[in-house]
Each structure stands twice: as C-alpha cells, then as structure tokens.
A and B are shown apart, each in its own frame.
Chain A
Amino acid sequence: MGVMFWGGFNTALEFTNTEEFCTGCHEMRENVYAELQDTIHFTNRSGVRAKCSDCHVPHDWTDKIARKMQASKEVWGKVFGTIDTREKFEAKRRELAEREWSRLKANDSLECRNCHNYDFMDFTRQSKRASDQHSTALAKGEKTCIDCHKGIAHQLPDMTGVEGW
C-alpha cells in the first residue's frame, strides 16, 4: 500500500515536471513557451535543450518539494485567471521575472550550474568579453550567472531600475 502511494506520488511529481504538463495551459504555451523557442536553450547546433523544469524546478528532492508547494499558488492563478490574457501577463511580467531572478540569485544560479559547470569552462574557447567576465567577477563569486544573463530564455519586462540595466 505504502509502495503504491509512494510510486503514485513520485509519478505525479514527475508528470508535473514534463513540458506537456507545463504547456498544457495557454498561459504558458502562448507566452513563455513561445518566447523560449527561438533562444539558444531551445534550438542550437547540437540539439541539446532545456525544458521548463530544468531551469524552474530544483533537482534536489527537498528543494523540489518546497518549490512544488509554492507552485500550488499557480493553480490558484490558473483557476482565477490571473494572467489569462496577453495584457494581464505583460502587466505581471516584471513581478514574475523578479521572483525567478531572486530565486536564482539566492541559490547562486543553481539551475544554470546543473549544466554549466564553472570548473569545466574553457576560457580559451570563449569570446574575449565572455572570458574577461567569467575569469574575474564569476570566478571571485562577486557575480552569479543570473546577474548578467537575464532574459536569455524569455523576453525581458520593463527593466527600469533593475541593477545592471
């Protein structure tokens, strides 16, 4: 009985991490998912790509459960149509973006680093601008990925007053 519950729970958890689930609503499919599709994290020379949960859901179990519990608020948002039109979404874009920026800032861009490992970066294969920044600010821990790489997977909101813009 316990095994069945646990298995079912985990299967449900996995299901909510799939792209089909995330893009099941028009809010995601027609806004953020559409924007993702011409970025490097969706289409590129080698065909490796990130899906929603790679960046937006922590991989560690406890953190994942915490995030999933937070995400129950998104069910509320869906039911009451918080962003069910393009206009409503655009009006909330800054708030939504800031929530993700602060999450990534707080965990030192963990979801970026799940794939992009600093220790294995070859600066000689980076452009001069990139290696300059990565070998100084990033190396010293003064900056984390999200400090510079905002808006790489989705469109940016009005950036007035955002640090570094």
Chain B
Amino acid sequence: MKSFIISTLVMAFTVFSAFAQDDIATLRGEAGLNQEGAPPAMSKVLNKDIKRKRNYPMQPPTIPHKIDNYQVDLNTNKCLSCHSRKRTEESQAPMISVTHYMDRDGNFLADVSPRRYFCGQCHVIQTDANPLVGNEFIDIDDLLKVEQAQ
C-alpha cells in the first residue's frame, strides 16, 4: 500500500512537471541547462520625466529619468542636489517626503536620515523592457469607484 502511494505520487509529480515546463518563463529562456542562451538586448532607461502611477500599495515613486553615474556615497548624494528640501525651489524637482527626515523613532532631524540616504534602495529607474509577468493591481480609488457604482 505504502509503495503504491509513493509510486502514484511520483507519477503524478512527473506528469505535472512535464506540463509545468511549458508554462514557466525563465530568465534563462529556451537554452538547456548546460548551454548559454543568447542574452536579450540591453533595454533603454526611460527618460521622459513623466511621473508614473503606482503599481502596488506603498510603492516608492519610480525615477522617471536616467541616473547614470549618479554618485551616492559618503562624500555626496547627487539625487539630493535636486530633491532635498533646500534644493527644490531652484531645481523644481519633487521634494523628498518628510518621512525621509525622520529617524526610526519618529523624531525629526535637520537633514536626511541616514537610513533614507541611499535613494536607490527603494527608488528605481524603469526601462522599456517587456515585463515577464503582468500586473493586475487596481488602486484603492478605482476599487471604491466600482463598489459605489454597484
């Protein structure tokens, strides 16, 4: 009996994995495990300076421009040379939010909190690459609208 269950499970798993193989898109593509596939062309960074809507709740705004060679280190932070509180009047860039000036206990600091200093940890550029998987996210406002209409 025990061996029957095991062999059934093994068979079911083999059949399932055979089906699954066609459906799953991998980054490796069609190339076999022991081969090196042709890499896709490098995608271009979108540089249109147009703000995008969010793709999931609490998403940090994506960067709508190129950030090639932007220096963010102990010496300086290139992003903040436009987006910091004291620079936005001249640059007319979006000001980083007040949460970036708070430490983890909610105290306000005079300058950007060290834990928020590395912009690229949360904010990222977008490229013209086709997404591997779709996104079915609907923003809360749209959901409420649908509900009210019913």
Task: Report yes or no: B48 in contact with A128, Cβ–Cβ below 8 A.
Answer: yes
Residues in B neighbouring A159, C-beta threshold 8 A: 75-76, 81
- A38, A128, A129, A165: the one contacting B76 at CB < 8 Å is A165
B interface secondary structure, majority: loop
A-B contact pairs, 24 of them (CB 8 A): A40-B68, A127-B47, A127-B49, A127-B66, A128-B48, A128-B49, A129-B49, A129-B65, A132-B92, A151-B71, A152-B69, A156-B71, A156-B76, A156-B78, A157-B75, A157-B76, A158-B74, A158-B75, A159-B81, A164-B81, A164-B87, A164-B90, A165-B81, A165-B87
Q: Which residues of B contact A (CB under 8 A)?
A: 47-49, 65-66, 68-69, 71, 74-76, 78, 80-81, 87, 90, 92
- B78, B80, B92: the one contacting A151 at CB < 8 Å is B78
Contacts across chains A and B counted by CB atoms under 8 Å: 39
Residue of B nearest to A164 (CB): B81
Residues in B neighbouring A17, C-beta threshold 8 A: none
Residue of B nearest to A129 (CB): B49
Residues in A neighbouring B75, C-beta threshold 8 A: 155-159
**Cα separation A156 to B79 with both chains bound (whole Å):** 13
Residues in A neighbouring B90, C-beta threshold 8 A: 164
Q: Which residues of A contact B (CB under 8 A)?
A: 38-40, 127-129, 132, 151-152, 155-159, 164-165
Residue of A nearest to B80 (CB): A165
Residues in B neighbouring A164, C-beta threshold 8 A: 81, 87, 90
Residues in A neighbouring B65, C-beta threshold 8 A: 127, 129
B109 to chain A, nearest CB (A): 16
**Cα separation A52 to B84 with both chains bound (whole Å):** 33
Residues in A neighbouring B66, C-beta threshold 8 A: 127
Once A127-B47, A164-B81 are accepted as A-B contacts, the answer to whether A155 and B68 lie under 8 Å apart by CB is: no
Most B-side CB within 10 Å, residue of A38, A127, A158: A127
Residues in B neighbouring A155, C-beta threshold 8 A: 71, 75
Residue of A nearest to B75 (CB): A158
Residues in B neighbouring A151, C-beta threshold 8 A: 71, 76, 78
Most B-side CB within 10 Å, residue of A39, A128, A132: A128
**Cα separation A157 to B73 with both chains bound (whole Å):** 10
Residue of B nearest to A159 (CB): B76
B32 to chain A, nearest CB (A): 34
Residue of A nearest to B68 (CB): A40
Once A159-B75, A165-B81 are accepted as A-B contacts, the answer to whether A39 and B48 lie under 8 Å apart by CB is: no
